[in-house]
Structures are given as structure tokens and as C-alpha cells.
């Protein structure tokens, strides 16, 4: 489902974008995950985490990013819901979904048993995040119930992954800052240990030779 080359390409491009375009690209990727089924190729959290790292560098605002991701997720899933409600039976004929028909049937069964709770949980799994809104529309779940469950999951998911990238970026900066000092300290410690061992062994050999003589 996930092409590593695509992920690497997107990560590289997001890092090189201007601040304004970072917002636009991340919003489109998150929105399109369920609305346009982009999630089959690139899980939304990948772009969100990368954007969080960019925010840790001071290039975009982390609060604005969190809000944008949450809103894009809610709107994208709402579009996915109405697409499923209108053309759900045709969507099931898509070859990609046909290859994962067992997962789709399991998701539909989960919706029938647990409804909104399953929508909420689906937000945290890449495949379900891409198909759950459409399947909820197909199953004729009441939109108000879907919206509450979906918005709840989107808020937690959007804020969590944005902050994950943000704090990971800060951690990487600190690691880079102190890595050389750590490496130098480690080298000094190793040299001291090796020299100490050498002299201890040399001393024991001298003592042994003295006793033997």
C-alpha cells in the first residue's frame, strides 16, 4: 500500500517548500486521503509528521498547522462520506478495493456492530482512514453521528501527529547540536580505558617477571 519512493519524494519536497506552500500541500494531502483516496498511496500522517518537523524549524506555526490538519481531515472525510453515500456500490468495484475485499467486508461489519466508535478507531489505521468515510456513507450511517465520531478522531489524530513531528524535529536539532561533543567525550573515555587497561596489564607482567626472577 505504501511506496517508500513516494514517501521519500514527498518528504523531500515538503522540506523544500515555502511556508505558505507547506500549509497548502499538507492540507490537500490530508483532505484527499479519504476524499480522493490518496491514502492508498501516501498515509496522511507521513505528511503531517514532516510538516511538524518543518514547524520545529520555525518555518510554519505549529498551532496553525494543528488547526489546518484537523479541519482538512474533517472536511476530507465528509466528502468521502457523501461520495460513499452516492456512489458506494461503484466504489467497491475499484480494483484496489477488490484486492482487499476481506478488509472491506470486515470494516463494514465493524460499522454495523459498533457504528461511530468504529469510525473513531478507523482514523488511526491507514487503510481504514482512507475507506471508512466512504463505507460509512455506503452503510447509510446518519451523518450527524458520523461527523461527531470523525471529528473526535480527527482532533486527536491531527494534533498528535503534528506535535509528534514538532517534538521529533526539536529532538533532532538537539541531537545534532550535541552529537559532536558526545562523540568526542566517548572517544576520550575509550582512549582512557584502553590506556588504563594497557598499563595495568604491563604492570602485572612486570610484577610476574619480578617474582619469577
Report the run of H or E that residue 73 belongs to, with start and end.
helix 62-91
Conformation bin of residue 42: beta by default, left when phi > 0, alpha when psi is -120 to 50: beta
State which residues form the domain around 135: 4-172
pLDDT tens for 19-71 read: 888 899 899 889 988 777 666 666 678 888 888 888 988 889 999 999 999 99
Q: How many CA atoms lie within 13 A of 59 on its CB side?
A: 19
* 194 falls within a domain: no
Does residue 207 form part of some domain? no
Please state the rounded mean pLDDT for residues 90-107. Answer: 71
Query: Longest C-alpha distance within the chain, in Å?
Result: 99
* Within a domain: 206: no
Q: What is the pLDDT of residue 167?
A: 86
Mean pLDDT of the chain: 78
Provide CB contacts within 8 A for 117, sequence distance 6+. Answer: 149
- How many folded domains does the chain comprise? 1
Q: How confident is the model at residue 74 (pLDDT cuts 50, 70, 90)?
A: very high
User: Is residue 201 included in any domain, yes or no?
Assistant: no
CA distance 84 to 28: 20
At residue 41, the 3 state secondary structure works out as coil
Domain membership of residue 179 (yes or no) is no
pTM beyond 0.75: the answer is no
Please write the tens of the pLDDT for every residue from 123-134. 888 778 888 888
Would you tell me how many other CB atoms lie within 10 Å of the CB of residue 196? 10
Establish if 24 belongs to a structural domain: yes
Amino acid at each position: 500500500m505504501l511506496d517508500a519512493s513516494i514517501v521519500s519524494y514527498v518528504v523531500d519536497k515538503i522540506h523544500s517548500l515555502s511556508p505558505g506552500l507547506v500549509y497548502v500541500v499538507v492540507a490537500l494531502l490530508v483532505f484527499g486521503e479519504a476524499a480522493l483516496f490518496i491514502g492508498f498511496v501516501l498515509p496522511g500522517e507521513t505528511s503531517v509528521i514532516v510538516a511538524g518537523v518543518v514547524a520545529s524549524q520555525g518555518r510554519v506555526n505549529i498551532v496553525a498547522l494543528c488547526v489546518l490538519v484537523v479541519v482538512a481531515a474533517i472536511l476530507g472525510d465528509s466528502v468521502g462520506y457523501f461520495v460513499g453515500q452516492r456512489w458506494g456500490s461503484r466504489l467497491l468495484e475499484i480494483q484496489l478495493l477488490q484486492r482487499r475485499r476481506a478488509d472491506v467486508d470486515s470494516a463494514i461489519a465493524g460499522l454495523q456492530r459498533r457504528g461511530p466508535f468504529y469510525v473513531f478507531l478507523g482514523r488511526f489505521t491507514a487503510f481504514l482512514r482512507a475507506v471508512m468515510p466512504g463505507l460509512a456513507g455506503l452503510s447509510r450511517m446518519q451523518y450527524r453521528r458520523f461527523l461527531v465520531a470523525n471529528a473526535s478522531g480527527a482532533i486527536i489524530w491531527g494534533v498528535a501527529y503534528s506535535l509528534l513531528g514538532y517534538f521529533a524535529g526539536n529532538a533532532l536539532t538537539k541531537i545534532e547540536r550535541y552529537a559532536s561533543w558526545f562523540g568526542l567525550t566517548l572517544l576520550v573515555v575509550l582512549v582512557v580505558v584502553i590506556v588504563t587497561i594497557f598499563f595495568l596489564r604491563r604492570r602485572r607482567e612486570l610484577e610476574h617477571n619480578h617474582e619469577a626472577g
